[in-house]
Structure 1
Amino acid sequence: MNNFHTDSRFLQFLVFGFLGLVLTFSIVFFVLKRIGKDPKNLLPINFANRIKIPLLLIIIALVLRIGLLNDVFEGSLMLIIGHVCTLLLIFAVTWSCIVILRSFKSGLMRKYDITADDNLNARRVFTQFTILERVVIFLLIVFAIGVALMSFDGIRAIGISFLTSAGIAGIILGFSAQKMLGTLVAGIQIAITQPIRLDDVVIVEGEWGWIEEINLTYVVVRIWDKRRMVLPTTYFIEKPFQNWTRTTSEILGTVFIYTDFGLPVDALREELTRLLKSTPLWDGNVNVLQVTNATETGMEIRALMSSKNSPTSWDLRVFIREKLITFIQQNYPDCLPKTRISVKGKDEPSL
């Protein structure tokens, strides 16, 4: 009779638990989906689909916990199911926190357009949130693993005895992990001080490229020829490097031309102005042509021009260099660089 009563309670728990599970999940999922459709909310449209699996796991864990409180399961199963329920709840809550964090970040990032030409503020915010998001996720996972391990009685006892006698071992471990901790701290420091941001144009190790990824322990630089350079985050804290877009994406480009002294500089200056006005690569701000050096063989002429960003500056410099050389070839061919040799007769006095 007692077994029949237990089986009846277990059967009732299965039926009502399943109905409650389906009903609760359906209501919460419907509410989240309606909230996601409102464009004024920070939650993205697909937030409900992202969180539906961890939400389902949380509800399952809660239903099992209700069954444990009502003594639905037999004594041999109560400990196993109770432990599984605890682990399932820890895993689902951690997963839900990560989904909520990423969804919150996506909602904030909708206000910023990182693809715009003037995207300095967007890149600043995107870099901060990306690195801080990874730090929080890392801490959440470590905390969840620690809580899950401490739920085992054997491991808890080992952990307590280890903590009471781990003074020297902790010091040794601290020295061993010093480099890893320094790298993690450097990643957090980059997020706060921002010496680099995503999509910044930098020169590192003699290579020119863009910041493609900023992780907790390493940074990926996309080189101009599509190679990838992977550097530790400590590199950007400890070593000097060039950041061409630290405060603005605008940049000055230079072109050096070497000619004979006979070239009229004003004519070349007028040609530079005409060329800059003829191309959309120039932003209309800086237009300078100067003789920056003179040697025994000729003049060094520098053309200085501005553009909206570094890739455009490269194209503009190439365009101006080619056109100025063509202009000199077609109009002043005698003013191209030359070497002078003076041949004197035997009886001709030397100067």
Structure 2
Amino acid sequence: MDPVQSWLTFAIALVVTAIVVVAIVIVIGLALTTLQRRKPALGHLRARCRTAFISLLGVAALWGVMAATFPLTGWLPGLMHLFSVVMIAIVAWLLVCGVYVLADVSNAKYAGAEDTIAARRMRTQMTMVRRLLIVIVVVIALGSILMTFPGIRTIGASVLASAGIASIVAGLAAQSVLGNLIAGVQLAFSDAARVGDVVVVEGEWGRIGEITLAYVVVDIWDERRLIVPCTYFTSQPFTNWTRSASQILGTVAFDIDWRVNIAAMRVKLHEVLEGTDLWDGRSGSLQIIDATGGFVRARSTVSAADSGKLWDLQCLVREEMIAWLQKSGNFSLPVTRVQMVDGEAMDRKLSRSGPKAADAEAERDNSGMFSGSPEAEARGSMFTGAIAVQEREQEAAAEVAAEAATEEMDAETSVPSQAWQQVPPPRPPLPQQSTEQLPPPADEPGPDDTTR
């Protein structure tokens, strides 16, 4: 065939194919517009899949024209491979759009409804299912594209042979990723936390704005964003204020004086609650919860339909009650009382009281919790009473005491081993005289006196 004629045939085929594709797109668009009035779900299909469907139709028509009429036959193998890769990508794109259509149709059922538990559950589950399906479609598309290359198919056989080792290595490397993935799926289907729930995480109060396969986004009340891993909600405790219902209770505390009129304060509280739409009518009470430290603490309990209205209601009640306390008189506000005493006058008063005061002071000092009265003594004996000792323990104690006394006596009476060297030698005895040479005593008569 003449090359010019071949190119002319190819051009005519392209024009005819383009006209056919445009005609098909127009017809399908008109049909969807007509059917959309009776089935609003087709509107989501048209909005999501229009571009992907036109691309798929155009690439498929061009692929057929190129395979049938392209003059350069040597380029056909490469072009056919390119078209196959593009077709796989467009099909994956169309499937992803279909997943979004399913999510939009399911969420559209609760679009006009209130923020209920069922709506939050459906949004959370569909978000998680949508993300999982998109990941699966993308992985399959990438695998299909890679398998179109002959070299990749050859490598794939050797990779499959070592799939066991590869799976172990991949599991260890992606342990945290897989943990977050499983935690995200568990979080979506366990109703522990849903998109739109009011939670307190790490001391921050906010609403769950997004749940992904790896993390959870918490929209904090001051427009900050707290990013928390999915595993946090499955392993750490957190507070969910809308787990079973959006209704919630709150308290407002006041420190007031002892002389305040509690009945009038309750009347004013009910007036404030009845005059606002923030109160849902379930709870509105005022109680005294403490009366120490020189003032009285009153706590009002109020209720609202959700946490946001409760915050505004608490602020409103606090402001209105403070204004009423200010207008009702200074006696309602907490005060610190100090008693001024004249020291000289107090001394004179104590001196006049005399013995009575002294007796009272002695009586007060002598009486106590565990002494000073028979009842106190009996009470004290429970803690300080004698403990009974067994006979063996008494005998052992007596033997130890006897041994100690014996050792003490031996220590006192014992003489040091060197004491004999310090004793002086005995003196020699005096010479003895005979009784014949001794003169007679003066009071006894001699022989001469008797003869006389």
Superposed pair shares fold, TM > 0.5: yes
Using the TM superposition, give the Cα deviation of residue 234 of structure 1 relative to its aligned residue in structure 2, in angstroms.
1.5
Using the TM superposition, give the Cα deviation of residue 174 of structure 1 relative to its aligned residue in structure 2, in angstroms.
0.9
Which range moved further: 65-74 or 116-125?
A: 65-74
Match of 2:192 in 1: 195
Which range moved further: 34-43 or 241-250?
A: 34-43
Using the TM superposition, give the Cα deviation of residue 144 of structure 1 relative to its aligned residue in structure 2, in angstroms.
0.6
Q: Given the superposition, is the C-alpha separation of residues 338 and 264 from structure 1 closer, same or farther in structure 2, using an over 3 Å criterion?
A: same
The residue correspondences of 1:158-307 to structure 2 (distance < 5 A) are 158-307=155-304
In structure 2, C-alpha distance between the alignment counterparts of 1:81 and 1:289, rounded to whole Å: 81
Match of 1:313 in 2: 310
Over the residues paired in the alignment, what is the CA RMSD in angstroms? Answer: 2.5
Match of 2:41 in 1: 43
2:91 pairs with 1:93: yes
Match of 1:60 among 55, 58, 81: 58
Which range moved further: 284-293 or 340-349?
A: 340-349
Using the TM superposition, give the Cα deviation of residue 254 of structure 1 relative to its aligned residue in structure 2, in angstroms.
0.8
Using the TM superposition, give the Cα deviation of residue 52 of structure 1 relative to its aligned residue in structure 2, in angstroms.
3.4
Q: Which amino acid aligns with 1:218?
A: Y
Q: Which amino acid aligns with 2:290?
A: N
Which range moved further: 313-322 or 236-245?
A: 236-245
Bigger radius of gyration: 2
In structure 2, C-alpha distance between the alignment counterparts of 1:316 and 1:329, rounded to whole Å: 20
Deviations 1:36-60 (A, max 9, x none): 5524425353643543332233223
Using the TM superposition, give the Cα deviation of residue 257 of structure 1 relative to its aligned residue in structure 2, in angstroms.
0.9
Contact 1:199-1:212 within 8 A present in 2 as well: yes
Using the TM superposition, give the Cα deviation of residue 193 of structure 1 relative to its aligned residue in structure 2, in angstroms.
1.5
Contact 2:44-2:105 within 8 A present in 1 as well: no
Match of 1:337 among 305, 309, 334: 334
Moved over 6 A (4+): none
Contact 2:48-2:100 within 8 A present in 1 as well: no
Contact 2:10-2:69 within 8 A present in 1 as well: no
Q: How many residues align?
A: 347
Using the TM superposition, give the Cα deviation of residue 9 of structure 1 relative to its aligned residue in structure 2, in angstroms.
5.5
Q: Which amino acid aligns with 1:100?
A: G
2:137 pairs with 1:121: no
Using the TM superposition, give the Cα deviation of residue 122 of structure 1 relative to its aligned residue in structure 2, in angstroms.
2.0
Which range moved further: 287-296 or 199-208?
A: 287-296
In structure 2, C-alpha distance between the alignment counterparts of 1:96 and 1:75, rounded to whole Å: 31
In structure 1, C-alpha distance between the alignment counterparts of 2:50 and 2:269, rounded to whole Å: 62
Q: Given the superposition, is the C-alpha separation of residues 335 and 49 from structure 1 closer, same or farther in structure 2, using an over 3 Å criterion?
A: closer
Contact 2:257-2:335 within 8 A present in 1 as well: yes
| Structure 2 runs not aligned, ≥5 long | 351-356, 362-452
In structure 2, C-alpha distance between the alignment counterparts of 1:236 and 1:11, rounded to whole Å: 66
Using the TM superposition, give the Cα deviation of residue 72 of structure 1 relative to its aligned residue in structure 2, in angstroms.
4.9
Q: Given the superposition, is the C-alpha separation of residues 113 and 120 from structure 1 closer, same or farther in structure 2, using an over 3 Å criterion?
A: farther
Higher relative contact order (CA 8 A, sep 6+): 1
In structure 1, C-alpha distance between the alignment counterparts of 2:289 and 2:174, rounded to whole Å: 53
In structure 2, C-alpha distance between the alignment counterparts of 1:118 and 1:145, rounded to whole Å: 39
In structure 1, C-alpha distance between the alignment counterparts of 2:48 and 2:320, rounded to whole Å: 55
Q: Which amino acid aligns with 1:282?
A: W
Q: Given the superposition, is the C-alpha separation of residues 46 and 36 from structure 1 closer, same or farther in structure 2, using an over 3 Å criterion?
A: farther
Q: Which amino acid aligns with 2:300?
A: A
SS in structure 2 opposite 1:325? helix
Q: Which amino acid aligns with 1:22?
A: I
SS in structure 2 opposite 1:45? helix
Q: Given the superposition, is the C-alpha separation of residues 95 and 104 from structure 1 closer, same or farther in structure 2, using an over 3 Å criterion?
A: same
Match of 2:100 among 85, 99, 102: 102
SS in structure 1 opposite 2:251? strand
Which range moved further: 39-48 or 95-104?
A: 39-48
Contact 1:217-1:233 within 8 A present in 2 as well: yes
Contact 1:42-1:104 within 8 A present in 2 as well: no
| Structure 1 runs not aligned, ≥5 long | none
In structure 2, C-alpha distance between the alignment counterparts of 1:15 and 1:151, rounded to whole Å: 31
Deviations 1:47-96 (A, max 9, x none): 43543332233223433443476575544222111111111111111111
Q: Given the superposition, is the C-alpha separation of residues 49 and 270 from structure 1 closer, same or farther in structure 2, using an over 3 Å criterion?
A: closer
Using the TM superposition, give the Cα deviation of residue 136 of structure 1 relative to its aligned residue in structure 2, in angstroms.
0.8
Q: Given the superposition, is the C-alpha separation of residues 221 and 33 from structure 1 closer, same or farther in structure 2, using an over 3 Å criterion?
A: farther
SS in structure 2 opposite 1:234? helix
Match of 2:446 in 1: none
Using the TM superposition, give the Cα deviation of residue 271 of structure 1 relative to its aligned residue in structure 2, in angstroms.
0.8
Contact 2:67-2:80 within 8 A present in 1 as well: no
Q: Which amino acid aligns with 1:90?
A: I
Contact 1:21-1:59 within 8 A present in 2 as well: no
Q: Which amino acid aligns with 1:76?
A: G
